[in-house]
Structure 1
Amino acid sequence: MDRTKNRILVRGLVSPLHAISFAIVSSTAGIGMLYCGANGLAAALGAVNLVLYTSVYTPMKRLTIVNTWAGAVVGAIPPLIGWASCEGQLSAGAWVMAAILYAWQFPHFNSLSWNLRPDYSRAGYRMMAVTDPDLCRRVTLRYSLAMVGICTLAPVIDVTTWTFAADSLPFNGYLVYLAWKFYQDADSKSSRKLFFFSLIHLPVILTLMIISKKHYGRNKKAEFVAVVSEGIDGGTRDQISSTLVT
């Protein structure tokens, strides 16, 4: 493929043995660091994602267009790893972030692959843009619309304030507009516009989500202060310890 022909493994600058050795060392060290530095859940998610990418998604690219959905799962797991590292569990906020990453990948990748169809076809990769162009356009529009719903769901389930739903709407709306143009007339121009906007769209959405997040820590701090005050006035040591632990 033209877009990968200059990679160091393809050019023979490193041997396959060197590459697989580096991959094994990096993977083992990464999972080990997650386990020792964070927790078992984060390490398990990292290990699962490694297997999904190398043993499921990559081989599927030559077999079926379902590889795009498998790849979207791979891209959605990193925020779960981060959340699990911080909290030790996967609460609602983790799944909202994963859903955003999952849905975003379809307008992002489908618009990218559209102009690379000859390249993918020569390489034998079964991408939607190659094997089913109409489905590629429909899926792109479908998941762009889903972004509006996901960002609206965040305040509904108390992950963010309603400001996030309002602030994200113009950006999601423009993503839908570009996806609609791509759906109507999929060509080099419409696909490039959608792809380049997707590069801006995701960091903006995640930044807005951070700005509008619910500050649970403040409530916990207030609860702690209240219990400590009560403890000074005669509360039990167990109550204070319980608040510190939680």
Structure 2
Amino acid sequence: MDSAVITDTKTSMKAIFSDFKQLTKVGLSLSVVFSSVAGYLLAIDVINYFTLFLLALGGFFMVGASNAFNQIIEKDTDAIMKRTQNRPLPTSRMSVKIALTIAILFTVSGIAILYSINPKTALFGAISIFLYTSVYTPLKSVTPLAVFVGAIPGAIPFMLGWVAATNQFGIEAGFLFMIQFFWQFPHFWAIGWLQYEEYKKAGFNMLPMNTKDKGAVKQIIFYTVIMILVSIVPVLKLSGAFYIHPITAIIVALLGIYMLYFGVKLHRSEENKDARKLMLSSILYITLVPIIYVVDKFLH
């Protein structure tokens, strides 16, 4: 076989794989899997590695499906924005038919795998895909309230792990849900601030009241404070079996205050650089807090 043909085949396979990764947003999907796994570890005493594997795989398919459906729906608006115009669908590197096939396969596989853990886990997985695809995505061009709706599927993964481990949605899962729910407002509004002009071009309303001003940052600060409070409530033993030590609560609070610091800075400066720092500190928060909780649990 001609080496040029082999090279071309390798290149095209690489391009196909790269497009597939972009369509399903592999990086984001893995971060969601990470929080599901953390939720699972918080709930169990003895790790069932097969269940953990099924949860990770099912969760990955679930988020991949949501992202693929989202990009099919937003193909035309993605073409307008710099950040998204090079995605596989706006550039026609991938057809809608192929994207739809991937999205449907991922949905069916994800829900089936989660169902094999227990029906409740599958139900929450299905709700997540439905809300993200059928409610959040269309609402983005209608109202800033889209962020509230989008925060629901975005907050499901953390508690999904708990439900997978215990087969019940109780106060513990509720708290895990609330932590990730309130976290999303400062996180998404920081992105909304940075991408304001781009979103406006595409007709998306992503900031509260759709204005880039101090009022928007006041909302960011308000939700960051609520997020911090909800994150440390488990120290009071008000959240069922989900409990943290005082030292853990202090560490979690400090991480939240670090985020709050950039929120306050953004309120003063209204500059993109502070919005970017807020966004990065929010990613640090949602990465470290589940790890801190899990470490705390296993040190009990």
Which protein has the larger Cα radius of gyration, Structure 1 or Structure 2?
1
Cα distance in 2, alignment partners of residues 44 and 207 from structure 1:
26
Identity %: 29
Cα distance in 1, alignment partners of residues 179 and 119 from structure 2:
24
Corresponding residue of 1:212:
296
CA shift, 1:129, in A, is 6.2
Q: Please tell me whether residue 162 in structure 1 is matched to residue 242 in structure 2.
A: no
Corresponding residue of 2:63:
none
Look up the SS of the partner of 1:63 in the other structure: coil
Corresponding residue of 2:115:
35
Aligned counterpart for 1:70 among listed residues 119, 144, 149: 149
Aligned counterpart for 2:187 among listed residues 88, 108, 115: 108
TM-score after normalising by structure 2: 0.68
Q: Please tell me whether residue 52 in structure 1 is matched to residue 131 in structure 2.
A: yes
Q: Please tell me whether residue 119 in structure 1 is matched to residue 203 in structure 2.
A: no
Gaps of 5+ in 1: 219-246
TM-score after normalising by structure 1: 0.82
Residues 120, 130 of structure 1: 8 Å contact kept = no
Aligned counterpart for 1:181 among listed residues 259, 265, 271: 265
Q: Please tell me whether residue 199 in structure 1 is matched to residue 275 in structure 2.
A: no
Number of residue-to-residue matches in the alignment: 215
Residues 120, 127 of structure 1: 8 Å contact kept = yes
- Which amino acid in 1 is paired with 2:235? P
- Which amino acid in 2 is paired with 1:201? Y
- Which amino acid in 2 is paired with 1:16? V
Cα distance in 2, alignment partners of residues 92 and 130 from structure 1:
32
Residues 41, 89 of structure 1: 8 Å contact kept = yes
Structure 1 pair 129–151 and aligned structure 2 pair: CA distance change class (3 A)? closer
Cα distance in 2, alignment partners of residues 193 and 208 from structure 1:
22
Structure 1 pair 214–154 and aligned structure 2 pair: CA distance change class (3 A)? farther
List 4+ stretches of structure 1 deviating above 6 A: none
Q: Please tell me whether residue 149 in structure 1 is matched to residue 229 in structure 2.
A: yes
Cα distance in 2, alignment partners of residues 181 and 44 from structure 1:
41
CA shift, 1:169, in A, is 1.8
Corresponding residue of 1:233:
none
Gaps of 5+ in 2: 1-80
CA shift, 1:153, in A, is 0.9
Deviates more, 1:114-123 or 1:155-164: 155-164
Cα distance in 2, alignment partners of residues 87 and 149 from structure 1:
25
Look up the SS of the partner of 1:177 in the other structure: helix
Residues 39, 88 of structure 1: 8 Å contact kept = yes
Deviates more, 1:54-63 or 1:155-164: 155-164
Deviations 1:156-175 (A, max 9, x none): 22522223212212111111
Q: Please tell me whether residue 5 in structure 1 is matched to residue 85 in structure 2.
A: yes
CA shift, 1:71, in A, is 0.9
Cα distance in 1, alignment partners of residues 121 and 247 from structure 2:
30
Higher relative contact order (CA 8 A, sep 6+): 2
